[in-house]
Amino acid sequence: MTVSNPMATEPTPSATAALSGAERDAASKQGVRFMAGIVFGFLGLSVLVHGVALTYVFTANTDIVRTDYYQAGERYDEELALRTKGSALPFKVALEPGDAGRVTLSLPDAPATLRGATGRVMLYRPGDARLDRVLPLQPATASDTAAWQSPASAIPVGRWRVRVEFDAPHALAFEQDHNLR
């Protein structure tokens, strides 16, 4: 007496006998074709995904904010001291968009040491270094010691990092981020 295993994966003799040799070969070839189709489908999908990723990598804009990053890193301690000194003062920066753009800097309760100070305004556009610019900073009027301005033609809307540096002997700096709308 033989005991048959219902969980066995081998075909029973009656199922094998029902298929002729040609039918078995056709069924085998169909299974191979199906598996080859799955493998080549995954391969094609993989090539497509990698092609899209490589296209993005080679066409993406990868501007850095500073081109002199190494030299700026060497002067970082000096810059931190200037920023600490500048951040203690309540400066207010206003950017005006448009063709007749302007950068206005005001300092309520300006210390007397800043009377007639000059300097620079650096406008950095994160992500697009082509729009970066450096502008001279002059007192707004001869008698006004608490306001400075700088003409800036055509400031496009968007995110800007404004860095203000006063020349020696005042030597202080500060940065503010602005979203110009």
Confidence band for 176, pLDDT divided at 50, 70 and 90? confident
| Whether residue 51 has pLDDT greater than 90 | yes
Domain 69-180 has CATH 3.30.300.180: no
Confidence class for position 86, pLDDT limits 50, 70, 90: confident
CA–CA gap between residue 158 and residue 109 (Å, rounded): 30
Express each pLDDT in 91-150 by its tens digit: 666 666 655 666 777 766 666 667 677 888 888 888 788 888 888 877 766 555 566 777
Q: Which two tokens stand for residue 67?
A: 């081109």
Maximal CA-CA distance, the chain: 118
Q: Name the strand (E) or helix (H) holding 51.
A: helix 21-59
47-56, 108-117, 171-180: which has the highest mean pLDDT? 47-56
Domain residue spans in the chain? 13-59, 69-180
92 with 105: CB under 8 angstroms? yes
**Over the stretch 9-41, which tens digit does the pLDDT of each residue have?**
555 555 555 667 777 777 788 888 899 999 999
Specify the length of the chain in residues: 181
